[in-house]
Amino acid sequence: MELLNNLWFGLQVAAEPINLLYCFLGVFLGTVVGVLPGIGALAAISLLLPLSYHIPPTAAIIMLAGVYYGAQYGGSTASILLNLPGTPSSAVTCIDGYPMARNGKAGVALFVTTIASLAGAMSGLVLLTLFSPVIAEVGLKFGPAEFCSMMLLGLVAASSVSSGSAVKGLAMMVFGLLLGMVGTDINSGVARFAFDVPELTDGINLVALAMGLFGIAEVVRCIKSADANRKIEKISLRSMAPSREEFRATVKPMARGSALGSALGALPGVGPSIAAFMAYAIEKKVARDPSRFGKGAIEGITAPESANNAAAQTAFVPSLSLGIPGDAVMAVMLGALIIHGIQPGPMLISEQPALFWGLVVSFAIGNIMLVILNLPTIGLWVALLRIPFAWMYPAILVFVALGVYSVNNNGFDIYLVTALGVMGYLLMVLRFEPAPLLLGYILGPLMEEYLRRAMLISRGDPMVFIERPISATLLAMTAALLLWALWSTLRGNLRARRQLAALQAAAD
Question: How big, in percent rounded to 5, are the helix, strand and coil portions of the chain?
Answer: 80, 0, 20
Distances (CA, A) of 507 to 428, 494, 501: 33, 20, 10
For helices 106-139 and 244-265, what crossing angle results, to 10°?
Answer: 30
Average pLDDT, integer, range 297-323: 83
Q: Give the ranges where 142-291 is alpha helix by DSSP (H).
A: 144-161, 166-180, 206-210, 217-225, 244-265, 271-286
What per-residue confidence (pLDDT) applies to 269? 56
Average pLDDT, integer, range 30-39: 74
**Beta-carbon contacts of residue 417 (< 8 Å; ≥ 6 apart):** 208, 211, 212, 216, 400, 401, 404
Q: Give 178 or 282, the one with higher predicted confidence.
A: 178
Q: What ranges do the domains of the chain cover?
A: 1-507
Distances (CA, A) of 18 to 57, 69, 205, 456: 11, 19, 28, 44
| Out of 17-21, 160-164, 465-469, least confident range | 160-164
- CA atoms of 91 and 257, how far apart (whole Å): 16
The answer on pLDDT for 137 being more than 80 is no
The answer on pLDDT for 252 being more than 80 is yes
Q: Give 291 or 379, the one with higher predicted confidence.
A: 291
The answer on pLDDT for 503 being more than 60 is yes
What per-residue confidence (pLDDT) applies to 234? 66
**pTM metric for this prediction:** 0.71
Instruction: Select from 82, 51, 83 the least CA-distant residue to 67.
Output: 51
What per-residue confidence (pLDDT) applies to 389? 67
pLDDT digits (tens, 9 = 90+) for 431-487: 887 777 877 887 788 888 888 888 888 888 888 888 888 889 989 988 988 888 788
**Beta-carbon contacts of residue 354 (< 8 Å; ≥ 6 apart):** 9, 13, 58
Instruction: Select from 385, 279, 243, 361 the least CA-distant residue to 313.
Output: 361
8 A C-beta contact, residue 350 and residue 132: no
pLDDT digits (tens, 9 = 90+) for 147-160: 888 778 877 876 76
What per-residue confidence (pLDDT) applies to 228? 47
Instruction: Select from 109, 112, 63, 117 the least CA-distant residue to 87.
Output: 117
Q: What band does 324 get if pLDDT is binned at 50, 70 and 90?
A: confident
Q: What band does 90 get if pLDDT is binned at 50, 70 and 90?
A: confident
Q: Give 136 or 28, the one with higher predicted confidence.
A: 28
The answer on pLDDT for 163 being more than 60 is no
SS (H, E, C) 120-170: HHHHHHHHHHHHHHHHHHHHCCCCHHHHHHHHHHHHHHHHHHCCCCHHHHH
Average pLDDT, integer, range 308-325: 79
What per-residue confidence (pLDDT) applies to 446? 80
Q: What band does 164 get if pLDDT is binned at 50, 70 and 90?
A: low
Each residue of 31-59: b (16+ CB within 10 Å) or e?
bbbbbbbbbbbbbbbbbbbbebeebebbb
Say if residue 390 is exposed, middle or buried (CB neighbours under 10 Å; 0-12, 13-18, 19+).
Answer: exposed
The answer on pLDDT for 249 being more than 60 is yes
Looking at residue 200, what DSSP letter applies? G
pLDDT digits (tens, 9 = 90+) for 35-87: 776 566 777 787 787 777 788 888 888 888 888 888 877 777 777 876 666 66
What per-residue confidence (pLDDT) applies to 288? 81
What per-residue confidence (pLDDT) applies to 39? 65
pLDDT digits (tens, 9 = 90+) for 378-409: 777 777 666 776 777 787 788 778 777 776 77
Average pLDDT, integer, range 11-18: 88
Average pLDDT, integer, range 263-270: 68
The answer on pLDDT for 187 being more than 60 is yes
8 A C-beta contact, residue 23 and residue 370: no
What are the two backbone dihedrals, phi and then psi, of residue 76, each rounded to the nearest 5 degrees? -75, -25
pLDDT digits (tens, 9 = 90+) for 328-383: 777 788 888 888 888 777 777 778 888 888 888 888 898 888 888 777 777 777 77
What per-residue confidence (pLDDT) applies to 272? 75
Distances (CA, A) of 27 to 30, 35, 365: 5, 12, 10
What per-residue confidence (pLDDT) applies to 476? 92
